[in-house]
Amino acid sequence: ANGLVRRSREPTVPMRWLHGCYGYQVCNSDLIPPGACNLLNSSTIYANNEVDLSTVDIYGFDYDYTLALYSNALNGMIYDKAKSFLIEHFKYPKEIHKYDYIPNFTVRGLHYDIQKGLLMKIDAFHYIQPGTVYRGLSPVPDEEVLELFGGTYHVPLELDSGFYGKGPKLKQFMDIFSIPEMTLLAAANDFFIRNGIDYDPVHLFKDVSEAIGMVHLKGFMYKWIMEDLDKFILRGDETDAVLHRLVSQGKKLFLITNSPFSFVDKGMRHMVGKDWRDFFDVVIVQADKPHFFTDCIKPFRRLDGNGDLQWEKITSLDKGQIYKQGNLFDFLRLTGWRGSRVLYFGDHLYSDLADLMLRHGWRTAAIVPELEPETKVVSTHRYALSLTWLQALTGLMERLQTHRDPESKRVFEEWQKEREELRAMTKNVFNPQFGSIFRTCHNPTYFSRRLSRFSDVYMASVSCLLNYDPSYTFYPRRTPLQHEAPLWMDQLCTGCMKTPHLEEMSQIR
């Protein structure tokens, strides 16, 4: 196999030699650099941009899915409740009740074509990934997708405009709450299609979206979580440890959440204890993000201990108080917390992070819980092997394409088939329908591109901070650009070698 790598770098490869040697059977473990699989650890913080923690003295947090991570059990409950609203309130056919929640049918970051009723994955270059388009619960064949989109997989910008993922015809599902929403859309579409019932997908989209909204607005989700905090809140001890650690290091902390105070208070008491507010210099609830970051109209209001709104003008944001609404411009004026001294953590790339990154220059940290299961897959020997072989095979095809003799052509076709199989395999191990949230076959996803644009660092949960010293500097790995040679020692093999301290870190968890 070492010979394979060396030989394939030669400018021309003798046909007979290739044919004899490159069956799948020569693709053995030697292709993978020793220890490569052990180097990935889901407790790692990944850097898109260099961040020196010693220069950060103010830490801001979103609440839901940032300080409080929720169990997947919530998704099925949101789905069931919204399904009942769809049938009882919006008068949809009762038979939709038969569609049970399907865990892991969808993944975050997918796009939904509102008029065509299609769920799909789009890459960083605005192309639909073939094989990831679903109508209802069934995949749409590639030929039909091409027909539906005017002979191309490309999705024009005007269909999907705006930083918040809401174009006139496409919606990108970005928060973790949208997993049950996508599943319900798929189920209801499936019901109408299977039964040959004429319906307008635009109405369905609007009604499902409102039904999901009702689960939140009517307070069901808050109620379920508050009734069984042990069941629904994950890793509370670790959140507690992170906050303790930051405060003991003299950092200032603040919270900006869209959730109501009573709900946040209950969860924080559960995770941190009744004195949780002592940790935070400023607490803002029902902030109405993303408008909080862009509109400068709504003033802050103070809530008293009973949660009642006060009428006085807010001239300072004080520790121990609770504020509602407000806006970032007043926040910056009253606190003076500007620029790169502030690191803000949130799970929603658009609502939490985009404006802060683009307009205000705070440092941003994205919470991406999917990193945990995805890193597990990437770390398996089988995946590493398939991916390395896929890359090697692609390199060979690139060289072989100039050979026009019939035998070369035949081999090329064989390899093409094998490459397709490998691509399907490396997609399906993440999610059989949509694959990884970070990659399409060979490109980063639309989600990935936004993640690298709007976050300085990203991690599976805030507890990853526990693995790093308060003065740690995150250095992004220098991945070669396409026109650059991979000159760095850590890039020479597969590009996944030598991430600082990972070997030591693998002992931590």
Q: Which of 41, 42, 58, 64 binds Mg ion (CB under 5 A)?
A: 64
Binding of Mg ion at residue 330 (CB under 5 A)?
no
Pick out residues in 345-374 that bind Mg ion (CB under 5 A): 347
Rounded Cα distance between 43 and 27, Å, is: 30
In the set 30, 52, 64, 275, the catalytic residue is: 64
Q: How many CA atoms lie within 13 A of 336 on its CB side?
A: 1
Instruction: Assess 62 for contact with Mg ion (CB under 5 A).
Output: yes
Q: Which of 400, 440, 414, 371 is nearest to 40 (CA)?
A: 371
**Could you tell me the CA-to-CA distances from 474 to 47, 49, 186, 245 in Å, in that order?**
6, 8, 40, 19
Q: Rule CB under 5 A: say whether 285 interacts with Mg ion.
A: no
**C-beta nearest to Mg ion: residue:** 64
- Site residue total, Mg ion (CB under 5 A): 4
User: 259 near 64, Cβ under 8 Å?
Assistant: yes
Q: From the candidates 57, 62, 240, 490, which is the catalytic residue?
A: 62
DSSP at 459: E
- Contact indicator for 371, 460 with CB cutoff of 8 Å: yes
Binding residues for Mg(2+): 62, 347
The reply to whether 65 sits near Mg ion by the rule CB under 5 A is: yes
Question: Catalytic: 175?
Answer: no
Closer CB to Mg ion, residue 146 or residue 253?
Answer: 253
Strand-by-strand arrangement of the 170-172 sheet:
138-139, 128-135, 118-122, 111-113, 170-172
Is 62 considered catalytic here?
Answer: yes
Q: Which residues are annotated as a binding site?
A: 62, 64, 347
Distance CA 354, CA 357 (A): 5
**Judged by CB under 5 A, which stretch of 54-62, 92-100, 334-342, 418-426 contacts Mg ion?**
54-62
* Nearer residue to Mg ion within complex by CB, 62 or 207: 62
Question: Least CB distance from residue 257 to Mg ion, whole Å?
Answer: 7
Binding segment toward Mg ion, per CB under 5 A, in 137-145, 236-244, 320-328, 342-350: 342-350
Query: By CB under 5 A, is residue 240 in contact with Mg ion?
Result: no
Under the phi-then-psi rule, with left for phi > 0, alpha for psi from -120 to 50, and beta for the rest, what region is 33?
A: beta
Closer residue to Mg ion, CB minimum distance, 264 or 496:
264
Nearest residue to 220 (alpha-carbon basis) of 78, 337, 413: 78
Q: How far is the CB of 90 from Mg ion (least distance, A)?
A: 27
CB of 68 to Mg ion, least distance (A): 9
Cβ atoms of 50 and 475 closer than 8 Å: yes
Q: Give the residues lining the site for Mg ion (CB under 5 A).
A: 62, 64-65, 347
Catalytic machinery residues: 62, 64
